């Protein structure tokens, strides 16, 4: 990673957030009073595709404000540099070496070769998936609202879902569609497709066309880990909430399964909800923090430590416990550097989140578990919340200092904890001096 390019990426996000906040602060963009802190919070939540809200999106913002939020979600999901480079390519402008470096870091692409071509494919995927999702959702919403409104709601929720944003034009999010099969299938699949990463999407497409005969280790890890986490999440939700009268207890078997599936997918990547998270039992909220910390996969629209870092950390622990120095998976060896890097990501991310949670617990009057839940949701750019007692996130009750803490976590989670830390402390220079190995008892 190059510290200079990462700083430019961070700056581009900050500038985009500032522009979004200014636009949302315009009188014709919102209804009633909107403080600039809340405008910054909303803009950050949209750009960082999180979904935490301190204002009721359908009520407190006008149609223009909704459009601003949607554009911020789309640009934030793709990455500012990706959007700028794509339009430069469309205008047939040459992309210089420095822009390619920035784009490479932004997309988590492994090489410089084929970068612009990969970007074009990404935009084709984004357009096709979001358009298909929008049409299906619009047809479903058409049963509840006029055609024009159904089309707008379809496109808004499709873009919000694919970019793992979780913003909704319904005040109670998607709780009215708890038992709706179409909504409970389309929204999660859009979230999964956006969260697994553009590199994986491209490789799956080439594999389907038989242009590649074997999926890469990265793609296999992403797919298997994603499936594993979704199934484990469903099992935990069902086991802990099955008889809870405040949440799942009164549901039918179908609604329980759909709600558990929907909740498990949204635990890690997006902020949509069909249940009230304030009704969940404390053990469930605690387990949810782990899923939110993991987040999605590299090169996609989700935040967190990423599925690959989680998988390699677990792999490293497993082989260490077995006394085997050579970690491997899918008949491929994993380098010790990658394992150690995954440990570092988990440790640093945990430090940031725990430190922020402790800080928030000192300045805000809310239970620590709910604060930890909110902090993990912000860092993982998830967006689910135990709420403020109404339709807003818990952050709506925070002071300005508390809100800025959540803003910081959202920005760091979207950019990546490792990249964010390198931008602050700089990349270490590898020493050419090798000392004698010291023995330490563990």
What Å distances lie between residue 429 and 36, 346, 370, 387, 416, CA to CA?
41, 22, 40, 45, 21
Predicted local distance difference test score (pLDDT) of residue 41 = 95
Q: What is the pLDDT of residue 403?
A: 94
What percent of the chain is modeled with pLDDT above 90? 52
- Per-residue pLDDT band at 430 (split at 50, 70, 90): low
pLDDT of 146 > 80? The answer is yes
Average pLDDT over residues 360-385: 92
Q: What are phi and psi of 32, to 5 degrees?
A: 75, -160
pLDDT of residue 19: 93
Rounded mean pLDDT of 79-86?
54
Task: Supply the pLDDT for residue 435.
Answer: 78
pLDDT tens digits, one per residue of 36-58: 999 999 999 999 889 899 999 99
Please give the average per-residue pLDDT across 9-29, as a whole number: 90
Q: How confident is the model at residue 295 (pLDDT cuts 50, 70, 90)?
A: confident
Q: What is the mean pLDDT of residues 310-321?
A: 92
CA dihedral 234, 238, 239, 241 (to 10 degrees): 130
Q: What is the pLDDT of residue 101?
A: 55
Q: What per-residue string of b and e applies to 174-207 under the rule 16 or more CB within 10 Å gives b?
A: bbebbebeebbebbbbbbbbbbbbbbbbbbbeee
Average pLDDT over residues 142-158: 94
Which band of pLDDT confidence, cut at 50, 70 and 90, is reported for residue 123? confident
17 and 40 Cβ atoms separated by less than 8 Å: yes
pLDDT value for 199: 83
Residue 164, CA distances (Å) to 77, 178, 233, 250, 404 in order: 8, 19, 17, 29, 22
Cα distance between residue 403 and residue 395, in whole Å: 6
Q: Higher model confidence: residue 395 or residue 2?
A: 395
* Residue 198 pLDDT greater than 90, yes or no: no
What percentage of the chain has pLDDT greater than the value 70?
88
Q: How far is CA 37 from CA 55, 127, 273, 389, in A?
A: 11, 33, 25, 21
pLDDT of residue 300: 76
pLDDT for 93: 55
C-alpha span between 14 and 6 (Å, rounded): 12
Comparison of pLDDT for 355 and 415, the residue scoring more = 355
Q: Going along 248-392, which residue ranges are E strands?
A: 328-329, 332-333
Q: Residue 195's pLDDT is what? A: 87
pLDDT in tens, 242-262: 999 988 988 899 999 999 999
Which of 309-318, 320-329, 398-407, 429-438 bottoms out in mean pLDDT, i.e. has the lowest? 429-438
- Residue 277 pLDDT greater than 60, yes or no: yes
pLDDT mean over 260-280: 89
Report the SS3 class of residue 218: helix
DSSP-derived 3-state class of residue 82: helix
What pLDDT does residue 10 have?
Answer: 81
The pairing of strands 328-329 and 332-333 is: antiparallel
Give the pLDDT band of residue 434 (cuts 50, 70, 90): confident
Which of 311 and 11 is assigned the larger pLDDT? 311
pLDDT at 414: 83
Q: Which of 53, 65, 154 is nearest to 383 (CA)?
A: 53
Q: How confident is the model at residue 103 (pLDDT cuts 50, 70, 90)?
A: low
| pLDDT for residue 151 | 96
Going by C-beta distance under 8 Å and a sequence separation of 6 or more, which residues neighbour residue 212? 203, 206
Tell me what the mean pLDDT of segment 50-73 comes to.
93
202 pLDDT more than 70: yes
How is 130-171 classified by DSSP, letter by letter?
A: HHHHHHHHHHHHTTTS-HHHHHHHHHHHHHHHHTT----SST
What is the pLDDT, as a whole number, of residue 269?
81
Rounded mean pLDDT, 339-360: 92
Q: For residue 333, what are the β-bridge partners?
A: 328
Contact 196, 222 (CB under 8 A): yes
- Residue labelled with tokens 């070496």: 97
- Predicted pLDDT of residue 106: 54
In the predicted model, what is the mean pLDDT of the chain?
86
């Amino acid at each position: 990673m190059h510290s200079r390019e990462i700083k430019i990426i961070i700056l581009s996000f900050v500038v985009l957030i500032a522009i979004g906040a200014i636009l949302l602060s315009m009188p014709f963009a919102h209804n009633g009073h909107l403080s600039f802190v809340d405008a910054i919070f909303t803009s950050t939540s949209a750009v960082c595709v999180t979904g935490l809200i301190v204002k009721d999106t359908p009520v407190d913002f006008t149609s223009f404000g909704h459009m601003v939020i949607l554009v911020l979600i789309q640009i934030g999901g793709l990455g500012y540099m990706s959007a700028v480079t794509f339009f430069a390519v469309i205008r047939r402008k040459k992309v210089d070496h420095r822009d390619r470096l920035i784009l490479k870091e932004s997309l988590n692409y492994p090489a410089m070769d084929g970068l612009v071509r990969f970007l074009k494919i990404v935009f084709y995927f984004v357009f096709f998936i979001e358009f298909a999702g929008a049409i299906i959702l619009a047809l479903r919403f058409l049963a509840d609202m006029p055609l024009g409104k159904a089309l707008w709601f379809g496109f808004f929720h499709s873009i919000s879902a694919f970019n793992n944003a979780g913003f909704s034009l319904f005040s109670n999010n998607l709780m009215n569609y708890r038992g709706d099969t179409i909504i409970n299938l389309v929204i999660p699949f859009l979230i999964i497709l956006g969260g697994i990463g553009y590199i994986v999407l491209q490789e799956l497409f080439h594999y389907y066309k038989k242009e590649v005969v074997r999926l890469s280790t990265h793609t296999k890890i992403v797919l298997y880990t994603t499936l594993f986490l979704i199934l484990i999440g469903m099992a935990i939700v069902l086991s802990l909430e099955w008889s809870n009268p405040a949440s799942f207890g009164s549901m039918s078997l179908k609604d329980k399964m759909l709600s558990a599936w929907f909740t498990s997918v949204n635990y890690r990547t997006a902020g949509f909800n069909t249940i009230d998270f304030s009704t969940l039992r404390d053990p469930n909220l605690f387990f949810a923090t782990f899923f939110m910390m993991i987040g999605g996969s590299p090169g996609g629209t989700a935040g967190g430590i990423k599925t690959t870092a989680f998988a390699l950390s677990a792999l490293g622990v497993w082989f260490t416990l077995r006394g085997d120095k050579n970690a491997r998976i899918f008949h491929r060896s994993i380098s010790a550097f990658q394992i150690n890097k995954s440990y570092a990501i988990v440790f640093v991310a945990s430090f940031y989140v725990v430190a922020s949670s402790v800080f928030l617990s000192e300045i805000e009057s809310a239970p620590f578990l709910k604060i930890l839940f909110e902090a993990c949701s912000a860092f993982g750019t998830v967006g689910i919340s135990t709420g403020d007692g109404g339709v807003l996130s818990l952050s709506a009750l925070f002071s300005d200092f508390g809100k800025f803490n959540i803003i910081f976590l959202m920005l760091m989670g979207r950019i990546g904890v490792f990249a964010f830390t390198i931008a602050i402390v700089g990349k270490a220079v590898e020493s050419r001096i090798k000392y004698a190995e010291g023995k330490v008892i563990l």
